[in-house]
Structure 1
């Protein structure tokens, strides 16, 4: 018999360019179907439900900042399957123009409204722009069916596989007596600032009771491998002040664009920090602007950098690299540079000693760092990062199905550890 399960609202809390060449990491491969697909003769009983759920998620545009529609879909989907669902509303980033509400979706198997979860299973429901409509290579899906669309890999593939995995465990009775020991969390904002996970981490003490997680399983495209760690990141806004003048007499002024360009070249030619496990720190010059006219010596120039940090510690590794970067640029001109390097983090280590999984390291950032606590951290998911964020984002159904089985293994491993 279906239990009528309410949806609780937790609102703020209520009730509850230029780039240094990247060295390949160990185990990194070109885009391909890494996960061995399940054969169609042994198609899982949940195939139809998995395909339907994944399709519904990908069909809903949820570019970062506009995630409410896909969040509402998940609320209805999970509530219809006897989950207790809570919405965790984030404060508006612009109070004068709040727009649609943004919220994380928190859920666990009902009917207990006050669970004591030991394992958190999480991924993000926002995507990068632009929206790409859902498409499928076969009307009648097989393991080799290719499913395309924005978020099909990053990270709605993980969301669909995680939900299907937990539903399968519940149906099989393999976690009987531990049903509310597993909590689902689907967050907003991972692709931008990580504000969804950070807000959950900062406010989870207001849950009743406050969860004491022993393990957290994060879903991201890892090619079906268990990740032992990933690079850190920070961003840096750089402003150079020169002296304007006539371009025919460059010695009478100081070109801010020239100084900035020389500084950036020096940075790109310098090892800012490297390690055997994570390769070298890389710098992406995402934005470069300066000057007012071709015949005027530029007085101002700015650049915005994203730095992928290959050294630790997790808290502080980014500061080590930021200081090295600033020292290198100031060696070009001691007085011209101003730096605004935002908070980030160093390399993030994850737990990867689980039988039956290949392992790897990755270059991209995740929400793993943003969840505070002394818990085991597992990072895994279907699909490859090499197509995520691009026009050809797609995944094989066989990879999704194998991910369901692997998420089941990780949940059971975390519960038994």
Structure 2
């Protein structure tokens, strides 16, 4: 028996005596997801790829407004970018159901179908963002219908953000604003309905070495940026070894922090001393580590190299980074999600908006339909058999956290 079928049967037996219908209307789900997929909302650090997400936000706002939610569209500094906060009920507790409205770029020539036209085949729904993560919003819409005529004791808040796939500017803006406020938050990233309570942080950094070009026949005529960069890379690899000796978390498949030297560019000819060289690298930090502390440690290791080589070494961030995420295993939300899904909470390697929601004071878990294995690649899809169990889980979360004082 598949894990999804086992979960469905468990939920069916547990919830069959409740007084509301929890069967998803697949046709309605497909219509809603098709409309979301049809609205391009690529988020990318490369300007030629980056797109507004406002059309998606406005569509979601209209749907939730029609259901009685108080909707607030929050424009961001970037033109055409916005977040949505949709609220039903009031109180000082409650539940946030969160997702991002953007997608990654796509390789149109590698898709077997139109990435902006939802296509059903073999029990799967194909489309850009179908699983990561536009497909979560129709799950929410299906889940909330039985509750619309029932008075909530605590608020239900729907959150849709911008630019999760690039800068996470949407989540950062919300953290800076200090809202929304609630007690619990579930982010519907694709986890195959397994609750996630930990993920690593991420930093993407750049180091540029500026030396002096000259004729290669005489090293004294210049200062080689490549020679200095070899020292930089040696120092970074030494730092990596030090971090992996100091930090370890058995809750992760890769139990140590990682540092990857991703790409390097420098020089313009074999017969010229290299005048400039740039390295890009990323780091994945474990919970308990701090991005800014690590940046300081790197800077401290670069300064002596600059002094001895006579070069200028400039260290900068390619984006602001995301802190590691760790929700205690003992938290109420983790325990409830484990009970609902029948799965012990786990960790993932990818980063999410969870640290920003934690900054707002909420217990936070990442839990949603679909698999990360289908995200960020051609022919992205969400499996239909994930949808009804997802709706049931979301309904029970609402029942637990919005109907009890």
Interval of TM-score (by shorter of Structure 1 and Structure 2)? 0.7 to 0.9
User: SS of 1:150's equivalent?
Assistant: coil
1:227 aligns with 2:204: no
Count of aligned residue pairs for this structure pair: 356
* RMSD of aligned alpha carbons: 3.0
Matches within 5 A, 1:331-342: 335=308, 336=311, 337-341=313-317
Q: In structure 1, what is the equivalent of residue 124 of structure 2? A: 146
- The equivalent of 2:167 in structure 1 is 193
| TM-score, normalization by structure 2 | 0.77
**Cα gap change, 1:55 to 1:293, in 2 (>3 Å):** same
Q: Which runs of 5+ in 1 are unaligned?
A: 1-32, 93-97, 139-143, 206-210
Out of 26, 34, 43, the position equivalent to 1:47 is: 26
SS at 1:243 equivalent: coil
1:98-247 paired onto structure 2 within 5 Å: 98=79, 101-109=80-88, 118-130=94-106, 132-138=115-121, 145-167=123-145, 169-170=146-147, 176-178=150-152, 181-204=155-178, 212-247=181-216
SS in structure 1 of the partner of residue 373 of structure 2 = coil
1:282 pairs, out of 254, 258, 268, with 258
Distance 2:237 2:321 in 1: 20
Deviation at 1:380, TM superposition (A): 0.8
Query: Could you list the per-position Cα deviations for residues 257-287 of structure 1 after superposition, in whole angstroms to 9, with x for gaps in the alignment?
Result: 3432453355346333432234222234444
Query: Relative to structure 1, is the Cα distance of residues 266 and 137 closer, same or farther in structure 2, using a 3 angstrom cutoff?
Result: farther
* Cα deviation, residue 389, structure 1: 1.3
Q: Is the 8 A contact 2:24 2:142 kept in 1?
A: no
Give, in whole Å, the separation in 2 of the partners of 1:116 and 1:328.
Answer: 47
Given that 2:99 and 2:187 are in contact with CA atoms closer than 8 Å, whether structure 1 keeps it comes out as yes
Whether the aligned pair in 2 keeps the contact of 1:122 and 1:184 (CA below 8 Å) is yes
Instruction: Report what 2:46 is aligned to.
Output: none
Distance between the aligned counterparts of 1:45 and 1:137, measured in 2?
16
| Distance (Å, rounded) in 1 between the aligned partners of 2:395 and 2:219 | 66
2:207 alignment partner, SS class: strand
SS of 1:128 mapped into structure 2: coil
Q: Superposition pairs for residues 294-373 of structure 1, below 5 Å? A: 294-313=270-289, 317-326=290-299, 335=308, 336=311, 337-341=313-317, 343-350=320-327, 351=331, 352-354=334-336, 355-357=339-341, 358=343, 359-371=345-357, 372-373=359-360
Compare the two structures and name the one with the higher helix fraction: 2
TM-score normalized with structure 1 length:
0.75
Give the match for residue 383 of structure 1. Answer: 370
- Tell me, which stretches of 5 or more residues in structure 2 are unaligned? 13-21, 44-50, 109-114
Distance across 1 between alignment mates of 2:374 and 2:104? 12
Give 1:145 deviation, angstroms.
1.0
Residue 125 of structure 1 deviates from its aligned partner by: 0.3
